[in-house]
Amino acid sequence: MSALTHAHSNPHHEHPDVVGSRNRLGLVLILVADIAFALSVLFVYFYLKGQNVNDMWLPAATDDQVATTPVSSTGAWYLTVLVGVGLLTHTYALKGARVKNQTQLVLGSGIALVASVLAMVYQVMQMSAAPFTITWGAYASCYFLITGLNTVHLALTVFIALGNWNRSRLGLYRADHWHVTIVRVWWTWMFVSSALGAFALSFP
């Protein structure tokens, strides 16, 4: 067994590409867990819809309360588009980082931040505008599960987009920009996950 005698005297100075690819793998693995979670949510939705136990997927009207009417999925698709805008502007920012265009980087990540905030606000508005509460049958419960998951995802996105914008603004990505690359992986998953939610809600 031979040994290296130089070059690694300070382990904290690894090449940015090495660190970047390692971090990207870490995020992808965490996303595996998140994807499993989101797919389980879809499973819950379609399983309960398929079972329709006691005809209570969408309960009919009773003496106490009106029938549960499904929410149109248009709102969920609008939300997906909004997240898509975030993804595109973030990609624009990443392109800026690649060509060392600081203005494009800050502008792109700034708009992405705004998109994430708007998306979250829009999602919360949709939840509060629903014509039923979580207790009104299986569809209602699932509706709040899907929108709730989106809200949590978007809150995390706001946090990440805020950091990304702030760090761009401070010029921390001048030397290397693997953070921006990784944040785009997250944005892509946000786009897919909101599309999945909208897809499910299209089949009430």
Partner 1 sequence: MTTMMERPAAAPGSAAPKKALIERLNLFTALGLGVASAVVVWYLAKTFLPQNTEESVIKTREDQVVLLAMIAWFIGFMIGIGAFIGPFRWVLGRDLSHDENMFYAGKDQGIKRYFRYTTDHKVVGIQYLVVTIIIFFVGGVLAMLIRTNLGYAEGGWLHPQAYNAIVGIHGIVMIVGTIVMITGPFGNFIMPIMIGARDMAFPRLNALSFWLVVAAIPPMLSAFWLGGITTGWSAYNPLASQAPPGMDGYIMFICIFAISTMVAGANITTTAVRMRAKGMTWNRTPIFIYGVVASVALALPAFPVFFLSQIMSALDRSLSSTFYDVRGGGSGWLYENLFWLMGHPEVYVILIPAVAALMEMAPVFTRRPLFSFNLAIMGIAGISGLSVLVWAHHMYVAGWAPLLNGPFMLTTELISIPTGMLFLVLIGTLWRGRLWMTMPTASIYALLWNFMIGGITGIYLSDVPIDAFLHGSMFVTAHFHYTLMGAGLTGALASLVYWFPKMTGRMFDKTLSWVSFCLVQIGFNVTFIGMFLVGLAGQPRRVEAYAEVFSRGNLITTMGAYTIMAGMLVLLHGVISSWRSGAKAPMNPWFAKTLEWTVPNPVPLENFEVLPVVTSDAYGYGKAKS
Contact segment (CB under 8 A) with partner 1 among 81-89, 92-100, 117-125, 163-171 equals 163-171
CB 123 within 8 A of CB 143: no
Residue 12 touches partner 1, criterion: CB under 8 A: yes
Residue 8 touches partner 1, criterion: CB under 8 A: yes
Report long-range pairs for 171-179 (Cβ below 8 Å, ≥24 apart): 171/102, 173/97, 173/105, 174/100, 174/102, 175/16, 176/16, 176/20, 177/94, 177/97, 177/98, 177/105, 178/16, 178/17, 178/19, 178/20, 178/21, 178/23, 178/24
Residue 135 touches partner 1, criterion: CB under 8 A: yes
Q: How far apart are the first and last CA of the chain?
A: 64
Q: How far is the CB of 78 from partner 1 (least distance, A)?
A: 25
Binding characters for partner 1, 38-57, by CB under 8 A (x = yes): --xx-xx--xx--xxxxxxx
Residue 29 touches partner 1, criterion: CB under 8 A: yes
Q: Would you tell me which residues interact with partner 1 (CB under 8 A)?
A: 1-5, 8, 11-12, 18, 21-23, 25-27, 29-30, 32-37, 40-41, 43-44, 47-48, 51-57, 59, 134-142, 144-145, 159, 162-163, 166-167, 169-170, 172
